[in-house]
Amino acid sequence: MVNGQHVVVFDGLNETEQVLKAILEPQGCRVNRIRQQHSGDITSAEEVPSILVVHDEDASHCTKDKPGWNKVPKIVIGSVKKRSTSNTDQSTHFLVQPFHYAELIDSIESILQQPQLNH
Q: What is the mean pLDDT of residues 81-105?
A: 75
14-53 pLDDT tens trace: 899 999 999 999 999 999 998 865 544 444 545 889 999 9
Give the distance, in angstroms, between the CA of residue 115 and the centroid of all CA atoms in the same chain: 17
Q: Please work out, in degrees rounded to the nearest 5, the angle formed at the alpha carbon of residue 111 by the alpha carbons of 110 and 114.
A: 90
Give the distance, in angstroms, between the CA of residue 56 and the centroid of all CA atoms in the same chain: 12
Q: Taking the chain, what is the end-to-end CA distance rounded to the nearest angstrom?
A: 12
pTM of the model: 0.77
Q: Output the average pLDDT for the chain.
A: 78
Q: How many CB atoms lie within 10 A of CB 109?
A: 17
Min mean pLDDT across 3-7, 44-48, 71-75, 93-97 is at 44-48
- Rounded CA-CA distance 44/46 in Å is 5
